[in-house]
Amino acid sequence: MTSAAFDVLGIGNAIVDVISRADDSFLGTHALTKGSMMLIDEARAEALYAAMGSGIEVSGGSCGNTMAGVASFGGRGAYIGKVRNDQLGAVFGHDIKAIGVSFETALATTGPSTARCLILVTPDAQRTMSTYLGACTGLGPNDIDIARIGSAQVTYVEGYLWDAPEAKKAVLKAFDAAHAAGRQVSITLSDSFCVGRYRDEFRTLIRDKVDILFANEDEIKSLYQVDTFEKALEAARAENKICALTRSEKGSMIVKGSETHAVPAAPVAKVVDTTGAGDLYAAGFLFGYTHGKPLAECARLGGIAAAEVISHVGARPERALKDLV
């Protein structure tokens, strides 16, 4: 196996976030479930946007945020995701390259516009997301460069990709290419509703292909359809993979066969916006992992990154994460 050009290569839905504040009654009026991610079509996106308050636009996408975190730690990252050749696509491409992540996926020149995620932040700092996938649905196996995948220590993907059938095929191609090159692959389950949509596929995938699994408490309980975190933890342990399970202010638990590490959360003065917490946890963990750190230290780095991102509005780090460790 040759030395790796990249620490982490991420594949995800390339999305520009539109972040606005809202109160609980707005969520009720628009039938939004607090804390969840819901897929919406373009007409619904336009109607919801028209009803929302003024916003800020900022590059996002779960995996894009993770790659921003890896780069912020000083890691070498690459990203694969699909935007259109429109203004928001230019914003996404600029931002991910500006932070030092290699991004060479061909732009869509026809079809739906660049994806947007309408994020409503309520006074309790929770975020509720409505995503119009747009150009992301055009990501497919042709966007996967086998050599590029083979040049990354870990290929990391978001479960959300299962919402676009061609993107799922791209992931499977990438996973096979990574393993053929002697590399490792990782997935985040993304969202408990996403797990509900693709539970059986995810369980098969984890058993057969995944080396490192990320999930929060709701997601892992949904995956194994159990009612306590402890049962979910034991089911995850039985996979005999590295499973990093996050529990918000309770920190995270890492299991790998008989190994168990409980790592407390990093302190946060004030939680402002929880958007990106899981994405940045994965960033810290994978940065540590690809730099040869022990699992407990990987989890600690994940916690530091998550703490930074929830202390301000927006899902990408504002401070250089390498300065925080």
Contacting residues toward a copy of itself, per CB under 8 A: 49-50, 52-59, 68, 86-88, 91, 94-96, 98-99, 113-114, 314, 316
CB closer to a copy of itself out of 99 and 280 = 99
Is residue 237 within 8 A of residue 255, CB to CB? The reply is yes
The 8-class DSSP code of residue 315 comes to: S
CB closer to a copy of itself out of 86 and 145 = 86
Is residue 310 within 8 A of residue 269, CB to CB? The reply is no
CB closer to a copy of itself out of 53 and 111 = 53
List the catalytic residue out of 17, 95, 163, 279: 279
Closest C-alpha among 72, 73, 52 to residue 116: 52
Q: How far is the CB of 57 from a copy of itself (least distance, A)?
A: 4
Closest C-alpha among 270, 242, 240 to residue 254: 242
Closest C-alpha among 210, 272, 269, 197 to residue 236: 210
CB closer to a copy of itself out of 42 and 201 = 42
The tokens of 54 are what?
Answer: 């003024």
Q: How far is the CB of 88 from a copy of itself (least distance, A)?
A: 5
Is residue 67 within 8 A of residue 96, CB to CB? The reply is yes
How big is the chain, counted in residues? Answer: 325
CB closer to a copy of itself out of 265 and 315 = 315
Q: How far apart are the first and last CA of the chain?
A: 30
CB closer to a copy of itself out of 94 and 250 = 94
For residue 232, the one-letter residue type is A
Q: How far is the CB of 173 from a copy of itself (least distance, A)?
A: 29
C-alpha distances in angstroms, 119 versus 90, 92, 126, 181? 20, 16, 10, 38
Q: How far is the CB of 40 from a copy of itself (least distance, A)?
A: 16
Q: How far is the CB of 109 from a copy of itself (least distance, A)?
A: 16
Counting beta carbons within 10 angstroms of the beta carbon of residue 208, is it exposed (0 to 12), middle (13 to 18) or buried (19 or more)?
A: exposed
Q: How far is the CB of 71 from a copy of itself (least distance, A)?
A: 10
211 is an active site residue:
no
Sheet holding 212-216, edge to edge: 102-103, 77-80, 6-11, 152-158, 184-188, 212-216, 242-246, 252-256, 259-263
CB closer to a copy of itself out of 108 and 295 = 108
Q: How far is the CB of 309 from a copy of itself (least distance, A)?
A: 14
Q: Where are the alpha helices (DSSP H) in the chain?
A: 24-29, 42-51, 62-72, 87-98, 146-150, 165-180, 192-208, 217-224, 229-237, 277-289, 295-309
Q: Taking every pair of C-alpha atoms in the chain, what is the biggest distance, in angstroms?
A: 56
Catalytic residues: 279
